[in-house]
Amino acid sequence: MPAEPPHSAPTDGPRHVAVIMDGNGRWAAARGLPRAMGHREGVKALKRTVQAAPRFGIRCLTVFGFSTENWSRPPEEVSDLMGLVRSYVASDLRRLEREGVRVRVLGRRTGLPADIVAIIDHAEATTAHNDKFLLQVAFNYGGRADIVDAAQRHIEAVLAGRATGPLDEETLGLGLSTAGSPPVDVIVRTSGEQRLSNFLLWEAAYAELVYQNVLWPDYGEDGLADVVEQYRNRDRRFGGRTAPVEAAAPALAAG
Ligand code: IPE
Ligand code: IPE
Ligand code: MG
């Protein structure tokens, strides 16, 4: 992954936006509908958002579809959520392929039903040559599990004589499932909750955080426009100092 600059004022929009798509259940409950309906509307919101993203100069979108903790939901809901992968890929893969979108699924394959693994493999293989836009879907993904898997890969490489120690940040980053994607500029969470829920823990180190009150099934272009505007008003310092702070420092010392 390219090294991040010491600081940057993001006059341009974010290149990589990551979204915790939350609030499907509350959207359905507010309408007296079953949760499955909220998840189904959530897929429509995902399609709208993927289509809108390039209009803002976004090159990569990473969305959280199913966390390693979501297995603790009732079996019928887990099954509904698995079903969404089937319906999303069945209804949108041709368009994604045509529009130059590369699909990549982040997370552990183990534990997923065999037909879902086959669908994921097919979606990745069919779009592997695309380079206009990268859509990363975190599915059976946990940030901690991803870091553990990256460390484990390194241990195995050392034991096999393919790598040497000690482990450094760059090497660990190359073992993560997001390796090769641009640095995450902003992590968005809908539904008003303000936590990461085990999403992109490593990649979040210097990402901007944006919390929006909209429930995910209502999301689309307007939500992204708000994210881009908020992002442009942030001052990304990466631990360094921006020009105005440096100018103010001597005055403070003198006073
Ligand atoms: C997000 O909506 C979708 C997934 C977690 C897969 P939720 O199902 O978490 O909806 P709320 O948070 O209960 O409203
Ligand atoms: C995070 O949302 C997971 C996804 C959006 C896929 P959750 O709804 O599962 O998170 P918590 O339980 O509110 O932390
Ligand atoms: Mg939720």
Please count the residues of the chain: 255
Least confident interval from 1-10, 69-78, 153-162, 238-247 = 1-10
| 151 part of a folded domain | no
Q: Please confirm, yes or no, whether 80 is among the known catalytic residues.
A: no
Q: In what order do the strands lie in the sheet with 101-106?
A: 101-106, 133-141, 60-67, 16-20, 186-189, 208-211
Tokens of 154: 């390194």
**pLDDT tier at 5 (50, 70, 90 boundaries)?**
very low
Decide: 66 in ligand 1 pocket, CB within 6 A.
yes
Tokens of 74: 């009732």
pLDDT (tens digit, 9 = 90+) per residue, 23-77? 999 999 999 999 999 999 999 999 999 999 999 999 999 999 999 999 999 999 9
pLDDT, position 248: 54
Query: Whose C-alpha lies nearest to ligand 1, atom 3?
Result: 22
R_g over Cα of the chain? 20
Q: Which atom of ligand 1 is nearest to the CA of 215?
A: 14
| 173 part of a folded domain | no
Residue-range definition of the domain harbouring residue 219? 16-141+183-231
**pLDDT tier at 242 (50, 70, 90 boundaries)?**
confident
| 242 part of a folded domain | no
Q: Which of 24, 61, 16 is nearest to 42 (CA)?
A: 24
| 82 part of a folded domain | yes
- The alpha carbon of 114 and the centre of ligand 2 are apart by a number of angstroms equal to 24
Decide: 73 in ligand 2 pocket, CB within 6 A.
no
For range 208-219, the mean pLDDT: 98
Q: Which atom of ligand 2 is nearest to the CA of 64?
A: 6
| 131 part of a folded domain | yes
| 196 part of a folded domain | yes
| 34 part of a folded domain | yes
Helix 75-98 to helix 35-52 angle, to the nearest 10 degrees?
Answer: 20
Tokens of 160: 């096999």
**Taking 80 as the threshold, does the pLDDT of residue 1 lie above it?**
no
- The alpha carbon of 27 and the centre of ligand 2 are apart by a number of angstroms equal to 14
**Taking 90 as the threshold, does the pLDDT of residue 250 lie above it?**
no
Q: Which atom of ligand 1 is nearest to the CA of 22?
A: 1
For range 72-93, the mean pLDDT: 95
pLDDT, position 9: 44
The CATH number of whichever domain residue 137 belongs to comes to 3.40.1180.10
- Return the bridge partners of 61, or none: 17, 135
**Taking 60 as the threshold, does the pLDDT of residue 10 lie above it?**
no
Active-site residue, from 24, 70, 131, 233: 70
Phi (first) and psi of residue 66, to 5 degrees: -160, 120
Residues with CB under 5 Å of ion ligand 3 are 22
Q: How far, CA to CA in Å, does 38 sit from each of 44, 188, 215, 245? A: 10, 19, 10, 46
- The alpha carbon of 112 and the centre of ligand 1 are apart by a number of angstroms equal to 19
pLDDT (tens digit, 9 = 90+) per residue, 171-201? 999 999 999 999 999 999 999 999 999 999 9
Please count the other Cβ atoms lying within 10 Å of the Cβ belonging to residue 123: 23
Decide: 216 in ligand 2 pocket, CB within 6 A.
no
- The alpha carbon of 67 and the centre of ligand 2 are apart by a number of angstroms equal to 7
| 8 part of a folded domain | no
Dist CA 202 CA 214 (whole Å)? 26
Q: Please confirm, yes or no, whether 22 is among the known catalytic residues.
A: yes
- Return the bridge partners of 101, or none: 133
Q: Which of 199, 185, 227, 155 is nearest to 1 (CA)?
A: 185
Q: Which amino acid makes up residue 230? A: Q
* Total of domains in the chain: 1
Average of per-residue pLDDT values in the chain: 92
Share of the chain above pLDDT 70, in %: 91
